[in-house]
Amino acid sequence: MKALCWHGTNDIRYETVPDPEIEHPRDAIINVSSCAICGSDLHLFHHFIPTMESGDVVGHEFMGEVMEVGSENKKLKVGDRIVVPFTITCGECDQCKRGNFSVCERSNRNKSLADKMFGHAGAGLFGYSHLTGGYAGGQAEYVRVPFADSTHIKVPDSLSDEQVLFLGDIFPTGWQAAAQCDIEPTDTVAIWGAGPVGQFCVRSAVLMGAQQVVVIDNVPERLAMAEAGGAIAINFDEESVLGRLQELTKGKGPEKCIDAVGLEAHVSRSPDSVYDRVKQAVMQETDRPHVLREMIYVCRPAGILSIPGVYGGLVDKIPMGALMNKGLTVRSGQTHVKRWSEDLLRRIDEGQIDPSFVITHTADLAEGPEMYNTFRDKQDGCVKVVLKP
């Protein structure tokens, strides 16, 4: 089959690889109909996530038709149309039973490696390094889905791929980020990053009834898309983020702050962002936490910080004094996709939201390597890429 394979920094190739096979009775093999490039795929593209190996198949946002099922998989049958959550879940461990699907205790087959790095491993992920299980990803013609009787979302034929594809990642990720904020009708919610996840944070915060939603970015087409969804836009290249947030909140600061940027915050005129870039270049820290620092500084006392953006390692100069003395609450984590999927599928079906709004580019899978560059460089107004195998 054909797939997109990682070969190092800025090196994704369209290659022929072996077809996947059933390896466990709970498995399924799906024929991929649509897949997408996620913002967190760029962390792999830039080689900020460790334990990638040359030839690894990438991609964790995909859907398709079931073409083969294992003997113990009683939940799926050949021909079912499913979206595949990026977090692989056994559905039976203590964490899965609590709804904490992204920290499934059984799906990361390289658990000992992740235990050493994080203390306790998270769930296995598709196409996202050997630290998360080394599973082949979904930017491919076919995919083996482990624990497929749990790791799937059945979708009706009445909804298009473009309407439901993002149930596997960016829609529930944006939704969980907003849900973690415990939004109240009087809240101002400030969101750093207007990429695909940031766009769904905006729509989710609006659906949850926030009084005011503010988005911070410097890409005009992303800001325009967020404004169309109900946000107030701040272009950090053109105005002071802190000054404008103070103005919008009568000097009190936003009650809720969301970091939809993660470990690759832009290097701007801010001295701390330059500091981060230099320290990262000499390997004295792995991630760039400029957004985290800014959120801690600007958030209203007793507020909540929600972090859906991906961080991989160690950061420096986090203002713990401000965090503690302001009584801020920090919530983070990979997305518990299945916790939200039934409700979000219903909202799509009822027309409350059409997630296809975020798609700006659709291309053949063979064009994937080129589209990674387009997405990275935000060329041609690119916000979200869907690929068709």
Long-range CB contacts (within 8 A, 24+) of 275-279: 275/317, 276/316, 279/316
Residue 258's pLDDT is what?
A: 98
Residue 263's pLDDT is what?
A: 84
Q: Is the pLDDT of residue 290 over 80?
A: yes
Residue 277's pLDDT is what?
A: 84
Residue 294's pLDDT is what?
A: 95
pLDDT digits (tens, 9 = 90+) for 23-81: 999 999 999 999 999 999 999 999 989 999 999 999 999 999 999 999 999 999 999 99
- With a pLDDT cut of 70, the percent of the chain lying above it is 100
Q: How confident is the model at residue 356 (pLDDT cuts 50, 70, 90)?
A: very high
Q: Is the pLDDT of residue 175 over 90?
A: yes
Most confident of 256-265, 273-282, 366-375: 366-375
Residue 194's pLDDT is what?
A: 97
Phi, psi for residue 63 in degrees, rounded to 5: -155, 170
CA distance 124 to 134: 8
Q: How confident is the model at residue 279 (pLDDT cuts 50, 70, 90)?
A: confident
pLDDT digits (tens, 9 = 90+) for 257-271: 999 998 888 777 788
Q: Is the pLDDT of residue 272 over 90?
A: no
Mean pLDDT of 73-102: 97
CA distance 78 to 74: 11
Residue 313's pLDDT is what?
A: 84
Residue 353's pLDDT is what?
A: 97
Residue 334's pLDDT is what?
A: 94
Residue 269's pLDDT is what?
A: 74
Least confident interval from 6-10, 281-285, 342-346: 281-285
Residue 186's pLDDT is what?
A: 98
Q: Is the pLDDT of residue 103 over 80?
A: yes
Residue 287's pLDDT is what?
A: 84
Residue 152's pLDDT is what?
A: 98
Q: Is the pLDDT of residue 281 over 90?
A: no
Residue 376's pLDDT is what?
A: 95
What's the whole-model pTM score? 0.95
